[in-house]
Amino acid sequence: MEVKDQNEHNLEKKMLPPTTGTFQSREELLKHVRDFALTQGYMVSIRDSAKDRYVTVACDRGGVYRKRLKNGENMRQRKNASRLTNCPFEVVGKKDDDVWTLTVKNGEHNHEPSKDTSDHPSCRRFTEEEVLIIRDMSAAGKRPRQILKALRQRNPNLVSDSRNVYNVKAKIRRGSLSEGKKAEASCSSSMETMNTNGVAATVTQTQPMVHNSFAMSQAYVESKEVTETKALVAELCQHFYPLGWLSGTGGSITIRVHDGSIPRQHQLIVMSPSGVQKERMVADGMYVLSSDGFIMSTPSLKLYPYQPPKCTDCAPLFMKVYEICNAGAVIHSHGLEACLVTMINPFSKEFRITHMEMIKGIQGHGYHDELVVPIIENTAHEGELTESLTEAMRAYPKTTAILVRNHGVYIWGDSWISTKTQAECYHYLFDAAIKLYQLGLDWSSPNHGPLRSINGLWGCSGNSSRGPKVGTFGLDYMIEPSQRCLLLTIEGTVTPMSFVTDILFPYAHDNVQKHLAMTYDSEETQHDIDLLRSQIQEDLEQGVAGAVPIPPDYVGKELVIASLAANVEAMISTDRKVTSLKQLEGHIWRAGFQSNELVGVVFEDVPEALEKWHASGTKVYIFANGSREVQQLLFANSNYGDLRKYLCGFFDTTVGNKQVARSYFEILQTVGVDRPADMLFVTDSFQEAVAARAAGLEVIISIRPGNGPLPQNHGFRTIASLLEI
């Protein structure tokens, strides 16, 4: 913006400074200045401040643009002029004897009055309600554009844009981190004291972090209702410990504070801590949380050898149960029967039992009903279970329990009494199923008769595998496995390695910047960019070589695209197997196939082998690092025509890494194969072969020109052509 000469400016409409005077508070003074400035066509911002002494307020067009990018003399310049004009306007408020006095230091401006308030950042601030909406939609995984659309539906006059949403999201994220650090600091800040034996002991000093949601005060946290609930949790911990549900400091109990004067969704939550002896729990050893998960009160402290209190890692899961199921209490049990019942069938996603008396103790069930409990897979950290637990609750709205494989069970009810009763019934039923299984009886059938096929159903033995034969089979020695389906990789099995390394990768590398520029505003590319931002941020935190920061959108898409391209090119050069890269590569390759710049290259034996298997009724699936869309494009546009008619499905890294056994379990579940040995996996990779064998699959390694070497005595059968199967 052009800066006007002062004399020229005086000829135009003069913007007046606010009237001077005294004010009872700093906030009152600032409101007076801001409200008056808006009537004159300018806005102000705080330039300098000492909260209890003075505040300097200047025109928000004061100052000059500072170049932040240091790329030498040929650095890129701003395309748009800066809105800053080095305006000299300035007023000062000073505190004297508890009264704030406003004086005008310079009442002149060197720019025209604003015609549009959206020119001013201060007018693009969100209300507290809008900030809460941004927080909730961000937690739900919504992108800034989606959030902005929702906000504008509520307020058509909103002048904020997506960059303002980005800024609020960043502040919320920093706020969450800072709260986490405060909580961590409250548990780690300590002082040395002397115990009765004169030995130094560590006492942790904590400051409860009080949250003001629903006008909750510290006085209420110390009320009779909260105190009684804390005592009840301690009593239940002592009761469940001898049952083995809370042994080894594991497990947890949490109960809502029942208070008829407070809506259920706003009631406080009492939660037992982590890492403490549950049989020795007392009332003042509990955490108290607000309804939205903020810690309002921490446990009292104890001298050495007791550890500092820690809020359980299950807290996010408990809060999800309260939110989705409107529960009154939740128990997380590490009972052995809950762990073992998930191991009877390591591939099942459900536990089912019927015609057992104790089913009547489960909410909404009777004796003749079939009780179904979903099973989710365990993770290294309990907080990582939140997403799968949420999906299970939504998929099984009738359930009041979720099993975690090789771990335990989460059980809830509408009150602590209902939760306790159901927990006892669930554990009885889990134990009954285990004992019936040991007797060879079917707990899931009404008459509990003999299991029809223990081997077939549970994979206890299965047909024995033939001994490994190392080396390449000749065509006169045909492998005839008993598998019902095949799972093939692409690189080094179906296509030459050179097709991927010499054609596909270079094409993506050379076209990434062009692709992003041409499709930048599309929803698909924006989703790709969001995934890349997340991956790159993780790479930066872990110090991954080649990772460079991505600037926010408002600096201009050219800079964003250049930074993204630099990261993607670095990922391609190191052959990263991450979903964000593979998804973007897939979209670039799709454009190449559609424009006939790319043609899929497969080995000459592939079409004949696929046709032979198809004719025999053998189902064939593909598992590759590239996205499913790219896999289909490759087979649809191969040098032998469209081969998709011979294939039954495609899997990519969204089911998991190819070198991890769990990925193959997921594929077995999706395909509907009960016995892993009924699937034959063909790959060029030794690591993938090991992972698939660990999952129980039959495995053959493909030996093709250009494939990498195999370890000596690797123990796998090998082939040089798919026609050998």
Query: Residues annotated in the binding site for Zn(2+), as ranges?
Result: 332, 334, 407
DSSP string covering 385-440: GHHHHHHHHHH-TT-SEEEETTTEEEEEESSHHHHHHHHHHHHHHHHHHHHHHHTT
Beta bridge partners of 351: 373
- Please report how many Cα atoms fall inside a 13 Å half-sphere around the Cα of residue 417, on the Cβ side: 1
What is the sign, positive or negative, of the torsion defined by CA atoms of 289, 295, 301, 307?
A: positive
Pairing of strands 485-488, 619-623: parallel
Q: If you search the block for the tokens 């941004």, which residue do you land on?
A: 134
Q: Cα separation of 126 and 152, whole Å?
A: 12
Q: Which residues line the annotated binding site for substrate?
A: 314, 658
The number of residues in the chain equals 725
Type of residue at 262: I
Pairing of strands 717-719, 698-702: parallel
Q: Cα separation of 74 and 79, whole Å?
A: 14
What is the H or E stretch that residue 693 is in?
Answer: helix 686-694
**Which residues are CB-neighbours of 213 under 8 A, at least 6 positions away?**
266, 290, 291, 292, 294
Q: How many helices (H) and strands (E) does the chain have?
A: 21, 22
CA-nearest of 720, 675, 719, 721 to 698 is 675
Q: Cα separation of 709 and 159, whole Å?
A: 61
Q: Which residues line the annotated binding site?
A: 314, 332, 334, 407, 658
Catalytic residue, chosen from 184, 228, 357, 604, is 357
Are 33 and 18 contacting, i.e. CB atoms less than 8 angstroms apart?
yes
Q: Cα separation of 618 and 635, whole Å?
A: 18
CA-nearest of 641, 632, 633 to 595 is 633
Helix ranges, 409-554 (H):
416-438, 454-458, 497-499, 505-519, 523-542
Are 24 and 102 contacting, i.e. CB atoms less than 8 angstroms apart?
no
**Which residues are CB-neighbours of 11 under 8 A, at least 6 positions away?**
none
The structure tokens listed for 32 are 């007076």
Other beta carbons within 10 angstroms of residue 308's beta carbon come to: 20
Pairing of strands 54-59, 90-96: antiparallel
Beta bridge partners of 409: 333, 403
Other beta carbons within 10 angstroms of residue 494's beta carbon come to: 29
Q: Is 491 a catalytic site residue?
A: no
CA-based radius of gyration for the chain: 33
Distances (CA, A) of 401 to 396, 409, 423, 596: 10, 7, 9, 53
Q: Angle, to 10 degrees, between the axis of helix 579-594 and the axis of helix 505-519?
A: 90
CA-nearest of 341, 339, 334, 336 to 430 is 341
Are 422 and 361 contacting, i.e. CB atoms less than 8 angstroms apart?
yes
Are 692 and 489 contacting, i.e. CB atoms less than 8 angstroms apart?
no
CA-nearest of 115, 113, 120, 117 to 12 is 113
Are 648 and 621 contacting, i.e. CB atoms less than 8 angstroms apart?
yes
Residues recognised as catalytic: 357
